Amino acid sequence: MKFPQSGRAPAELLSQLQATKGQDVPWQEGKVFAYVYDAGPEAMQLLGDAFTLYMTENGLDPTSFPSCMVLEKEVIAMAMDLVNADPNGTGTFTGGGTESILLSLKTARDHARDQKPHIKQPEIVLPVTAHAAFFKACQYFDLTPVTVEVDDNFRAIPEKMDAAITDNTILMVGSAPSYAHGAIDPIEAMGQVALKHDILFHVDCCVGGMYLPFAKQLGYDIPNFDMGVPGVTQLSMDFHKWGYAAKGASCVLYNDANLRRYQIFSHSNWTGYTVINPGVTSTKSGGPVAACWAILNHLGLEGYHRLVDASQKATQKLLNALEGIPGLRAMGDPKTNLIALEATDFNIFPLADEMKERGWYIQPQFSYANSAENLHLSIGYHNVEQMDAFIADLTELTAKVRQQQQSVEATPLPEAILAMLEDATPATLGQLAGVLGIDPANPPERMEEINILLNNISADSREVLLGEFVNQLYMPA
Ligand SMILES: Cc1ncc(COP(=O)(O)O)c(C=O)c1O
């Protein structure tokens, strides 16, 4: 595509953008159980208005845009209050959970360089259920991840975490809850392990920070998980998930404000202005923080209680219904609105495709460690009205897929293709895609065959294949 020679009218461009959106999952109907958080039309309008009001303001410079800083400080104070942080602690507003986690681990690394200089190759101890963002941080900051198995309910095992800690360990990770199964790690017992070894302890509350506090206040069975737990030093929580904020809104919090010093990048050794960035980015729109500030104040405790209670009840409805759906069950012991559905006696991937044909989006997850392949649901306020219809389709289509698989002989796995996939390199992927008839620019509607293949190769090979797939997918138009 060539750079446009002459400009086009706003109305024409906006209508083109509107039409382009038509390719996306139709989240507005509440049939998408991932990616989108919608607290209703009034909240959406407010987010849009607040975001637009601050779109051009630049949070890079608090002396020129002190209002962005004030909004950020208020948002951080509200978050600290919610998760019982030390009132003398501090935090930073970031663009997402991944940025919060990157910053936390960069802080831990630089803290160790300063305070424990004998550590030459720092290690991070984390359960296999910890979010991929921690591995990204390890990759970026040259840290060694040490993964530890989890129990049958996908919760970290404090004794095993303890045993994995060495003289090189600088930080341990727990999730509240984990994304994949919604499992809340035993944060109190893990805090004791962290204290015993004098290491930092990060609780990943990216998906739970704006949910668990409200669920606990409402009386749901939620164990202690937050910054009030002895041993917890830092925590990430996202506003752009169950905070129903506009995307680009998360934070990393520290119980000890001194720790945050290690997070800040400060550079004067160049010809330009001194750059001092608490976060990864430098220039940052005031839009996300303004929209976040607005939604927190608009909903307040009462509003979030309403949203969380509705989500908990809809989740319970699904869990009850599962008892009447032969072959399907929830994995682990979910306490919140994140559910992983496992098939006990059939292959689950075709069910995702069947549900998609009826307009439902649920997220396939591959098998890994002690977790079987499954379909993941995040059940939010926007899904509540659809729960009865969802259950009806899930019941019908599970029976259909199960019956189909029982009535036809199972196709044997294509061992030759699996072996090729296992050995694939980015360079040979093009040929493989040809053999499989896959065009990265035009992925097939039904993903079951691809998912089954990917589920049957190693996670390392999946990384190579999907990494290259995305590399090809994003080739310029
Ligand atoms: C537990 C957990 N941690 C971290 C993240 C990463 O957050 P983000 O996608 O905002 O970078 C997620 C995202 O779902 C999550 O569920």
**Distance (Å, whole) CA 255 – CA 235:** 9
**In 21-96, where does DSSP find H-type helix?**
41-54, 66-82
Q: Is any ligand 1 atom within 6 A of the Cβ of residue 245?
A: no
13's CB contacts (< 8 A; 6+ apart) are: none
pLDDT attached to residue 426: 77
Distance 97 CA to ligand 1 centre (A): 5
Q: Find the helix packing angle between 349-357 and 387-407, rounded to 10°.
A: 130
Assigned CATH topology for domain 300-407: Aspartate Aminotransferase, domain 1 (3.90.1150)
Q: What tokens appear for 287 in the block?
A: 């839009």
SS3 at position 72: helix
Which residue owns the Cα nearest ligand 1 atom 9? 97
Q: Where are the domains of the chain?
A: 50-295, 300-407, 415-473
- Closest ligand 1 atom, CA of 178? 1
pLDDT attached to residue 138: 98
Q: How many helices (H) and strands (E) does the chain have?
A: 15, 13
Strands (E), 12-168: 90-94, 123-127, 144-148
Distance 178 CA to ligand 1 centre (A): 9
Query: In what helix (H) or strand (E) does residue 110 lie, and over which residues does it extend?
Result: helix 97-115
Q: Is any ligand 1 atom within 6 A of the Cβ of residue 205?
A: no
Contact 357, 393 (CB under 8 A): no
Q: What tens-digit pLDDT sequence spans the chain (477 residues)? A: 999 999 999 999 999 999 999 999 989 999 999 999 999 999 999 999 999 999 999 999 999 999 999 999 999 999 999 999 999 999 999 999 999 999 999 999 999 999 999 999 999 999 999 999 999 999 999 999 999 999 999 999 999 999 999 999 999 999 999 999 999 999 999 999 999 999 999 999 999 999 999 999 999 999 999 999 999 999 999 999 999 999 999 999 999 999 999 999 999 999 999 999 999 999 999 999 999 999 999 999 999 999 999 999 999 999 999 999 999 999 999 999 999 999 999 999 999 999 999 999 999 999 999 999 999 999 999 999 999 999 999 999 999 999 999 998 888 888 888 888 888 887 777 777 766 667 777 778 889 988 999 999 999 999 988 898 888 888 898
The amino acid at 73: K
Q: Is any ligand 1 atom within 6 A of the Cβ of residue 100?
A: no
Q: Is any ligand 1 atom within 6 A of the Cβ of residue 237?
A: no
**Distance (Å, whole) CA 443 – CA 466:** 13
Distance 363 CA to ligand 1 centre (A): 15
Distance 225 CA to ligand 1 centre (A): 17
- Closest ligand 1 atom, CA of 238? 10
Distance 132 CA to ligand 1 centre (A): 8
**Distance (Å, whole) CA 140 – CA 419:** 31
Q: Under CATH, which number does the domain 50-295 receive?
A: 3.40.640.10
